[in-house]
Chain A
């Protein structure tokens, strides 16, 4: 519903007609085209920002997600399995070499290994 002031509706209408008859400026066509182009630009920027943001979020998620993933009891993670395997391999190596590595420094182990190799060499010689 369109409201009108009862006391000045007629005056207002007459004045409005006068107003519209003398003020009829228009935006230039070139300005209209510029505005539409500016609006298209404003519209384009948003999805681009969104795409960049989404990509960044996906990347961060991809990198960080494993550390935030809930652990399932009893099932070791891939990294844990790798660590354990390398421990087992090392242990097997030293056991095969005839040494127990627990509580022994790496240098000690290397020295022991060299000795062992020398011994083996001598043993072989003796054999």
Chain B
């Protein structure tokens, strides 16, 4: 078991901070793409609070990242159920992205296109793609989070990548 998990189990305040510093941004982006920008901050907080409440039941056998993103996944699904509607686009709005990026018009255009292409993906393909690119999970862990066989996770990634590439063909030179 690594130091972070040990610290969290012991209730060490520095471990909380480390957890938020290490996983906060990735988790925030993942949740924002799945549940929408408006709810992303609150959902991210809820994920961390749940992690802390259940850390006692976390065994060292699985990967901590996979466990954390499984909680995030469940919360996003619950959020969708409560709202009964799908989020618009796939996440952060124009202003918040531009604020953090500060990029040029071309970059904004690419971001917009990628966001749009991502929002068109079927939910399970979107989740696999985000777990790979946002959460940097291995496919083995992605399969664990999604509760599907490894081959299914790979196939979903394969279809997601092909769809995205088709949508992003115009920006190929980037």
Q: How far is the CA of A24 from the CA of B99 in the complex (A)?
A: 11
Judged by a CB distance under 8 angstroms, whether A92 is at the interface is: no
Residues B157 and A8 in contact, CB atoms below 8 Å apart: yes
Residues A38 and B49 in contact, CB atoms below 8 Å apart: yes
Interface residues on B, range: 35 or more
Provide the residues of chain B in CB contact with A116, threshold 8 Å: none
Provide the residues of chain A in CB contact with B139, threshold 8 Å: 2-5
Q: A8-B158, A25-B25, A40-B13 are in contact. List 19 more A-B contacts (CB 8 A).
A: A2-B138, A3-B139, A3-B154, A5-B139, A8-B162, A15-B165, A16-B132, A18-B110, A20-B133, A23-B29, A24-B100, A25-B29, A26-B28, A31-B44, A35-B24, A39-B19, A39-B20, A42-B53, A43-B11
Q: A15-B161, A25-B25 are in contact. Are A39 and B114 (CB under 8 A)?
A: no
Closest to B100 in A: A25
Residues B52 and A43 in contact, CB atoms below 8 Å apart: yes
Dominant secondary structure at the B interface: helix
Interface size on A, residues (CB 8 A): 31
Number of A-B contacts (CB under 8 A): 109
With beta carbons under 8 angstroms apart, the residue of B17, B28, B174 that contacts A18 is: B174
- B interface with A by C-beta (< 8 Å): 11, 13, 16-17, 19-21, 24-25, 28-29, 32, 41, 44-45, 48-49, 52-53, 92, 96-97, 100-101, 103, 107, 110-111, 114, 132-134, 138-140, 150, 154-155, 157-158, 161-162, 164-165, 168, 171, 174
Provide the residues of chain A in CB contact with B25, threshold 8 Å: 25-27
With beta carbons under 8 angstroms apart, the residue of B28, B45, B107, B158 that contacts A22 is: B107
Residues B52 and A42 in contact, CB atoms below 8 Å apart: yes
Residues B110 and A22 in contact, CB atoms below 8 Å apart: yes
Judged by a CB distance under 8 angstroms, whether A122 is at the interface is: no
Closest to B109 in A: A22
Judged by a CB distance under 8 angstroms, whether A97 is at the interface is: no
Residues B114 and A22 in contact, CB atoms below 8 Å apart: yes
Q: How far is the CA of A8 from the CA of B100 in the complex (A)?
A: 30
Judged by a CB distance under 8 angstroms, whether A11 is at the interface is: yes
Q: Write the A19-48 contact mask toward B (1 if CB under 8 angstroms, else 0).
A: 110111111000110111011101100100
Residues B28 and A16 in contact, CB atoms below 8 Å apart: no
With beta carbons under 8 angstroms apart, the residue of A22, A23, A25, A39 that contacts B49 is: A39
